[in-house]
Structures are given as structure tokens and as C-alpha cells.
Amino acid sequence: MPVEDKIEILTLLAAAPGTDLRDKALATLQGWNRAEIRRVMASPQTARHVLHFAAEHLLADREELREILLWNPGLPAESRHLLQPKPAAKPPVVEAADRPPSPPQPQPLPQLSTSEAAEESAGDSPPEPAARSAEQQAAVEILAKLAAGASVEEVTDAQAEAPPEVTMRDDELTQNDRETLIQKINRMNVVEKIKAALTGNMETRSLLIRDSNKIISRAVLQSPKISDTEAEGYAAAKNVSEEVLRLIAMNRKYMKTYVVMRALVNNPRAPIDITMPLLNRINEKDLKGLSLNRNVPEVIRSLAVKMIKQREEATKPKLPGKH
């Protein structure tokens, strides 16, 4: 039975009232393999009631599921409130008698003139939380449309022109263009960065793949302009986040390309739970190289050695049995 079906059956049992198996099913789900749970909850084909159950019952010790579920376009709208972070606890009230003496009040700052205030407000101040939330929501909607099959042209605003450095051919970029590009990307908001990731050149993507916002790096990997060579570079990169490497491993398009898969397996930053299943697809020559790679985890090297021996045993000619 596929893992997806097993998890769905367990959620049905765990959600059913008045059954002796309820607690046991919930405990089984809570102890289920984390990589398999993440894969099922990230799939748009997963049943809506399964996603709702995960949002309601599986976040306690699996905080990584919060963002995975928010990304999934199949998550029911009524389940999203379950994924909001819990507000911080209020500090205890201190009685007046027990309260420490108040520190001296700071002197009031001098008032700015009208022109000075305008200049101050025009500076690089961070956006308000409400603005950031709206940007994040817009970004999620763009990626959800892409996941549902929309084209890049349908999700990007044709009226918003990207800076010329973003769309120039890479061989046309001068050193000055690259420096300007870095400055302009740093001033972009989330939605603008997503559009740049989807429609920009390789230089733009190489900057955005390392963005601290996971939404941006996910958008880069969804760009239709990424070549196999570029994907291989991301899979081998040691300066990208673990999330980027996980997304590459979950992408069927990238995993169909052998050089990308090989680069991912040899990347010391790649999580073991995504590289171990890939070893079965590595050829003998690369397995031998992997067994000697001191940068990868010991368990990967040991498994590579074991698989080499198994393949050698399988190819040995078998002696005829005695009769």
C-alpha cells in the first residue's frame, strides 16, 4: 500500500470519535518518518481532510510542517488559521510594592522640521508588519498559481517593468551592471523578487537563490529558464540553505537529470534523508567516488561501500550447483 494511503487511513482512524484505535493511530502518525510526512503534506494531490488533520494535530513537535502546509495549494482555506503562530504569553503583572524603581526617563528628542521628517520617512526603513504580511500573501498566491499549472506570464504583472539589469543577457552584463543589480535586488520587495526570479537572467537567480526568505528561493527553482547546468550548480552549492536542496530533491524535473542528482548526493550540506534514497540510482563509478568523499557524512560513505560490494556480488558468475 502506498505511503499516502497509509497516512490517509491513519488520519481517518485518529479523527474518528469513540474508537479504540484513535489514540494508537495518532501516536503512529506522530512517530511516522519525518521525510515521508513532509513529502505527503507538500503534495497538492493529498486529500484536503488529511492536510486539515495535520494542521490541527501534527504541528506540536513538527514545526517544519507549518510552512509546508501553507505552501500547499490544496490546503483548505478554513485550515489556515490553525497554522498561525501562537501569540506570546503576556508578562506577569507586577504589584506596585514589588515593582523595581523605574529607570530615568530619556530626554525628548528634538523635533524634526517638515523637510527633515520627509527625508527621514523616505529612508530605507523596514515595511510595517501589515505590509509585509500582504506581500507574503501575494507571493504565496503567485507560487500557488504556478503549482496549479499557470504560466509565468499569467502570474507576473506585465505592467511592472523589471530593471534592465535583471533581464539582460548574462554575457552582456558588465561588472558595473552586476554591482547595480545587487543594489536593485536589495531594494525589491517580496513580490518584485519573485517576478525577478521567474523572469530574470541567471545572474539574478544566482543572487536570489541565497535569499533568506524561503519563498524567494522556491520561486527561483520554479523558473522555466533554469538549465540543467544551472540546476547542477545549485545542487552542488554549499552556500544555499538546506531548504533549497530539499526542494531540488522533491522536483521530478531536476531528479530526472543524472548530473543534478549526483551533485546533490555529493553535497555535504544535503540532508541524509534525501540523499540516501538516491544512492540506488548512482552508477558504480560515482559510487566509488562517493565512498572516498570525506566531505559527505560517514553513513553515506558506508552505504556506498556496501552497495558497491552488493553489485559486485550480483555480477559474479554463479557456479553450477551440485547434483
Domain stop point among 61, 81, 101: 81
How many domains in the chain?
3
Closest to 244 (Cα-Cα) out of 273, 272, 212, 266: 212
DSSP label of 83: G
Closest to 153 (Cα-Cα) out of 253, 225, 230, 75: 225
User: Is the pTM for the entire model greater than 0.85?
Assistant: no
Sign of the dihedral defined by the CA atoms of residues 256, 257, 262, 267, in that order: negative
Expressed as residue numbers, the domain containing 312 is 227-231+240-317
Together in a domain, 221 and 273: no
Indicate whether 51 belongs to any domain. Answer: yes
Together in a domain, 220 and 285: no
Together in a domain, 202 and 247: no
Query: What sections of 160-208 are H helices per DSSP?
Result: 164-167, 175-186, 190-199, 202-208
pLDDT band at 64 (very low <50, low <70, confident <90, very high): confident
Which grid cell sits at 177? 551592471
Domain stop point among 28, 53, 81: 81
pLDDT given for residue 260 in this prediction: 95
Indicate whether 16 belongs to any domain. Answer: yes
Could you tell me the CA-to-CA distances from 122 to 187, 230, 315 in Å, in that order? 13, 38, 71
**pLDDT tens-place string over residues 201-255:** 898 999 999 988 888 888 899 888 999 999 999 999 998 988 899 989 988 889 9
**Percent over 90 (pLDDT), the chain:** 18
Find the mean pLDDT for residues 128-148. Answer: 58
**pLDDT tens-place string over residues 261-282:** 999 999 999 988 888 889 999 9
Together in a domain, 244 and 305: yes
Q: Is the pLDDT of residue 103 over 50?
A: no
- Contacts (Cβ under 8 Å, ≥6 apart) of 44: 72, 73, 74, 147, 148
What is the distance between the alpha carbons of residues 122 and 26, in angstroms, rounded to a whole number?
A: 53
Find the mean pLDDT for residues 4-15. Answer: 80
Together in a domain, 204 and 244: no
What is the distance between the alpha carbons of residues 158 and 150, in angstroms, rounded to a whole number?
A: 15
Together in a domain, 214 and 279: no
Q: Is the pLDDT of residue 300 over 70?
A: yes
pLDDT band at 6 (very low <50, low <70, confident <90, very high): confident
Q: Is the pLDDT of residue 312 over 80?
A: yes
